[in-house]
Structure 1
Amino acid sequence: MLTTYAQESSASERLTECKEEDFTSVDRLIIGAGVVGLAVGRQLAQRGGSTLVVDKNRQFGMETSSRNSEVIHAGIYYPQDSLKTKLCIEGKHRLYAYCQQQGIEHRKVGKWVVAQGAEQIEYLHGLRRHCNELNVPAEIISATMAHKEEPMVRADAALVSPTTGIVDSHEFMASLLRELTDSGGTFAPNTSVVAMQRDLDAYKVLVTTGDPETPFMAIRAPVVVNAAGLWADRIANMLVPDSHPWRQQYRLHFAKGRYYVLDAKASARLGIRRLVYPVPDRNVVSLGTHLTLDLAGTIRFGPDVEWTASNDDYAPEGGAPIPDVVQAINMYLPAVRSEDLCLGYTGIRPKLQHPGGAFRDFVVREESDMGMPGLVNLIGIESPGLTSSLAIATMVDGMLH
């Protein structure tokens, strides 16, 4: 049993005071049970040994992984040599194959990126050239053809992305967890990391357990994967002094976004059969207030973007009023009215780029060059993180073996 310490002791002091017999040893500790943490845990558990995945929430995937559009992205927006592009394209193929193999509900519905005016049409042609360089299927259709296919959509032209799809993200994560445990891995919910230290050839980690009799547990692991999502920079910072460079390099900024649900009658009236996206902003901070479908056929719009200091405030208040949201939607779907929409759910994206900042790529790094072998930081894993998850897991596995 872990020694109980005075309440005034800090978490770091408690960890330092732990005796050798207090520690539970595992081969690998994954911090965070979102879709990426579960994918990594599953991949590493299949190598044998002991793998422990912890999450501060009461069950898996309660943050970014369950508060998104559930889209399988094609991988067309980001720079060719970026991890976001490479991992999204690889992950897309892996995810479709995995869903097919495991019987997870998904659908390759396709997506349009719609242009209004000459400048946006020029952007579409540039995007198509980019798709060609990436060997990702895409074509541009005219306004006439777009109107024939989707009469309710306004578009002077549209880029068609046939490999975009949708997936039941909860079912996907549940399958990853099942394979993790079937391979001998363990999932510990309600388990928060409160301190971490490097110790010779391993990491010492203190976690809270939610158990009043043994409120803390000390873990020793030679391999730690930081897949903490919205909290990943805070986890990384536990290991370094205030002056360490990654405190700035890995600092997260939080973009809160709300989704708006179209009522059933309006959905039936529109009859939309695919995802519809406007042209994104210059730095791809957001893909715009786009139209997505879920597997039940419900139409959702969003997310909008509100920069916030909080990484856990999911309250729907604030943001753009529905008439402003409708104005953005009406640029490509003029038949939508304010009374057709209601506020749905809210998500938060962990972004490395600050408001107004340039593109920032995923961080997927094994930190040997920082004197921390066996530590893998996964930071800024936002969209297309769901699509990329299986590819990220393969990359992490390669870094560690």
Structure 2
Amino acid sequence: MPHDFSHLVIGGGVVGLAIAARLARTAANSVLLVERHSQVGTETSARNSEVIHAGLYHPPESLRTKLCIKGKNMLYEVASKSGIEYKQCGKWVVAQDEKQHEYLHKMYQRARDFTGVPLEWVSLSKASQLEPSIIAKAAILNSPTTGIVSAHSLMTYYEGQIEQHGGDIALNTAVVAIRQNETSGYTVSCKSDDSSDPIELTATCVINSAGLNAPNISNLLLPKERHVTAYYGKGNYFAYTHSQPKVNRLIYPCPSDHGSLGTHLTLDLNGRLKFGPDFEWVNSADDLQVNGQNLETVKQEISKYIKLDTSALVADYAGIRPKITQDSSKFHDFVIREEHGFPGFVNLLNIESPGLTSSLAIAEYVETILHQ
């Protein structure tokens, strides 16, 4: 008996949209994306730094590095042709002491020897001319392929691609159950806001790209011994309300652990400064109230690398990073896999930064998994 869809994608964030758009390009596919909210991209995809990452921080052999670098190149190419709003503004990573200088040196060597990501040293004298408000006491690495992109513009592009190639998006549609069919494929029970009874849909393949809710979706299908716990890393962002100083590129401090890249300076596409995210564990994915109590700590952190009027900083917004562990002392990679014993069911877990940058490459990777 034929299935309702060849591919059912769960989750309408930037990654789920990219996957659905990629799969819909194949004429033989019938693709449905289901999103539990009334709009796509309202969670992590709408509450981040909107940075196009270069691929600097993680192990060279990791998916997070490989897909970031490939996704970055794909994103710049697509954006330049498709009207997606972006800017390749570059980024400085600044060091304030010899320990941080050594960190940058290792970053430079790793990029040179393994990933090929372009990096260049900026002399402190040159830096003071280019960015007089920036403080760097030991060293600066410039990442020229870092940029910023409008997440909204990117997601609108993906939506257009889904529609153009005959795919469908169902909003206000929450997945409440998944079962593996005896012959092939899956039955997915979905509940809409305006219906009391779940609707059952069948699909040959199911892709779990539910972001913050991905562990819960996975647990609907996989046996208990393979269940995953969702953890939520909250990042608060702070806006700068003065017009001065002007900064022309992103500024990042040296990161202190694997949980966060530090409270960095980013720009929006109009050149306005914002700072964040900081990092704290929270118990709920709905805890989106900006923690203003962190403002004083943020002021202290950013004053180490920029001269500005910290009284002009105000709480702006917060976002949640989907995580599957609370151990930030170790690196944790993206999890993108077809689950053993469940052919055609692909899990995407721990898809945090650089998920937005990697979205096109992740979509290609998922398609490759399904075609193996």
Question: 2:206 aligns to what?
Answer: 224
Deviation of 1:215 (Å): 4.0
Q: Name the CA distance, whole Å, in 1 between partners of 2:166 and 2:318.
A: 35
Question: 1:183 aligns to what?
Answer: 165
1:364 aligns to 2:336 (yes or no): yes
Question: 1:238 aligns to what?
Answer: 220
Q: Name the CA distance, whole Å, in 2 between partners of 1:122 and 1:169.
A: 34
The letter of the residue matching 1:308 is V
Q: 2:304 aligns with which of 331, 344, 350?
A: 331
8 Å CA contact retained: 1:24, 1:218? no
Question: 2:78 aligns to what?
Answer: 98
Question: 1:257 aligns to what?
Answer: 235
**Change in CA separation of 1:118 and 1:317 when aligned onto 2, cut-off 3 Å:** closer
Deviation of 1:26 (Å): 1.2
**Structure 1 segment 1-400 matched on structure 2, within 5 A:** 25-48=4-27, 49-133=29-113, 134-156=115-137, 157-200=139-182, 201-212=184-195, 215-242=197-224, 244=225, 246-247=226-227, 250-263=228-241, 265=242, 268-282=243-257, 284-317=258-291, 320=294, 322-337=295-310, 339-367=311-339, 370-400=340-370
Per-residue Cα deviation, 1:36-67 (whole angstroms, up to 9, x for no partner): 00000001011123100000010110000010
Q: Name the CA distance, whole Å, in 2 between partners of 1:318 and 1:379.
A: 30
8 Å CA contact retained: 2:45, 2:151? yes
Deviation of 1:82 (Å): 0.1
The letter of the residue matching 1:278 is P
RMSD: 1.5
**Change in CA separation of 1:34 and 1:61 when aligned onto 2, cut-off 3 Å:** same
Q: TM-score, normalised by structure 1?
A: 0.89
Largest Rg, 1 or 2: 1
**Change in CA separation of 1:356 and 1:382 when aligned onto 2, cut-off 3 Å:** closer
**Count of residues in Structure 1 that have an aligned counterpart in Structure 2:** 367
Per-residue Cα deviation, 1:96-143 (whole angstroms, up to 9, x for no partner): 001011011110000000000111111111111111121111012222
Give 3-state SS (helix, strand or coil) of 1:91's partner.
helix
Per-residue Cα deviation, 1:237-288 (whole angstroms, up to 9, x for no partner): 111232x2x32xx43321011100001x3xx321110000000113x21010
Q: TM-score, normalised by structure 2?
A: 0.96
Q: Name the CA distance, whole Å, in 1 between partners of 2:111 and 2:3.
A: 49
Give 3-state SS (helix, strand or coil) of 2:238's partner.
strand
Per-residue Cα deviation, 1:77-111 (whole angstroms, up to 9, x for no partner): 00010000000000000000010110111100000
* Runs (4+) off by over 4 Å: none
